[in-house]
């Protein structure tokens, strides 16, 4: 079993809880309250700004030029294409990009971005890579699973666009690259160091689940 599979296996309950979460199920079957989706999109926009900062720190700490370029590309892809999904959804709701940027982070959003940035600033590159993995892999897995389900005819276009973004082969490739990166980073590390990677991965998996719950309850 690869190290990333080990990480995934230890957090399996948290991952299954995400797949089963009513917010995720509501995107799939189209029944999610649009007010919940709007709240989520606003918060995710704020999240992604901080997430791009994490990737920029990853570029700064990357052990080699190839990894540095990947992190820089990833930051660019998020600030560009992924956030364009959010800007598009917001535009349809009459919310402009400046208003999105001004959104105050909810407690769950703040907790998540603080955890990521804390890991990136106080931890080392291997921990940063492990912290990044539940974001990339989790969304790739959810997107891929939802895309395989038959689409209900009355599902809002924004939900279908959301699924398509994360089911996209390019996003799937990014997730595979993140797994390989973590496996390489863990290679030859002492157990105590691997334990810190486990903690980073499990912590982020828990915060991913809390993020769905925040969207579902529209918590501030
Ligand atoms: C909270 C969260 N995790 C992961 C992703 C995927 O980039 C996202 N957009 N939002």
Distance from residue 48's CA to the centre of ligand 1 (Å): 7
DSSP state of 63: S
133 lines ligand 1 (CB under 6 A): no
108 lines ligand 1 (CB under 6 A): no
Return the pLDDT at 93: 85
- In the chain, where the domains are located: 3-217
- Report the greatest alpha carbon distance in the chain: 52
Atom of ligand 1 nearest to the CA of 166: 6
Residues recognised as catalytic: 208
Distance from residue 40's CA to the centre of ligand 1 (Å): 10
Does the structure's ipTM exceed the value 0.85? yes
C-alpha torsion angle, residues 171, 133, 69, 195 (rounded to 10)? -160
Residue-wise pLDDT tens digits, 171-216: 999 999 999 999 999 999 999 999 999 999 999 999 999 999 999 9
Return the pLDDT at 5: 98
Atom of ligand 1 nearest to the CA of 109: 1
Distance from residue 137's CA to the centre of ligand 1 (Å): 10
Say which CATH class 3-217 falls into. Answer: mainly alpha
Q: Which residue has the tokens 């400046």?
A: 98
Residue whose CA is closest, atom 10 of ligand 1?
Answer: 44
Task: Taking residues 66-92, report their average pLDDT.
Answer: 91
Is residue 61 a contact partner of residue 127, using CB atoms and an 8 Å limit? no
48 lines ligand 1 (CB under 6 A): yes
Is residue 106 a contact partner of residue 43, using CB atoms and an 8 Å limit? yes
């Amino acid at each position: 079993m690869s190290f990333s599979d080990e990480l995934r296996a230890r957090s399996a309950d948290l991952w299954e809880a995400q797949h089963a979460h009513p917010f995720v199920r509501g995107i799939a079957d189209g029944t999610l309250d649009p007010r919940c989706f709007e709240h989520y999109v606003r918060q995710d926009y704020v999240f992604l700004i901080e997430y791009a900062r994490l990737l920029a720190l990853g570029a700064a700490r990357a052990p080699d030029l190839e990894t540095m370029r990947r992190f820089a590309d990833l930051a660019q892809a998020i600030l560009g294409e992924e956030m364009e999904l959010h800007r598009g959804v917001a535009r349809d709701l009459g919310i402009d990009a400046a208003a999105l940027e001004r959104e105050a982070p909810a407690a769950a959003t703040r907790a998540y971005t603080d955890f990521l940035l804390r890991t990136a600033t106080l931890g080392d590159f291997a921990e940063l890579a492990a912290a990044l993995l539940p974001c990339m892999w989790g969304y790739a897995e959810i997107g891929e699973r939802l895309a395989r389900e038959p689409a209900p005819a009355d599902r809002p276009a924004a939900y279908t666009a959301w699924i398509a973004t994360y089911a996209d082969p390019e996003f799937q490739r990014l997730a595979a690259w993140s797994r390989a990166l973590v496996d390489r980073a863990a290679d030859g590390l002492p157990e105590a160091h691997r334990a810190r990677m486990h903690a980073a991965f499990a912590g982020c998996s828990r915060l991913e689940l809390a993020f769905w719950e925040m969207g579902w309850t529209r918590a501030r």
